[in-house]
Amino acid sequence: MHKTLIFLFLFLSSDVLFSQNVNKYDKILNIENLPFNNHEVRIYRKHAISTGLDMFRLYQDHNNWVGEWYETVATQNQKVQVKKSSLHLSNNPELVWVKIIDTDILHLPHWESIQYKLEKKNKEYFTEDGENMVSRSKSVVVDGVSYYVKIKSDKTENEFEYYNPESYLKIYPNVDELISFKELLDVLRSEFKFFDK
Q: Are 126 and 148 in contact (CB under 8 A)?
A: no
Q: How confident is the model at residue 6 (pLDDT cuts 50, 70, 90)?
A: very low
pLDDT at 137 over 60: yes
pLDDT at 88 over 50: yes
| Closest alpha carbon to 34 in 59, 10, 9 | 59
- Which of 186 and 81 is assigned the larger pLDDT? 186
Rounded to two decimals, the pTM is 0.81
Q: Are 118 and 140 in contact (CB under 8 A)?
A: no
- What is the residue type of 183? E
Q: How confident is the model at residue 139 (pLDDT cuts 50, 70, 90)?
A: confident
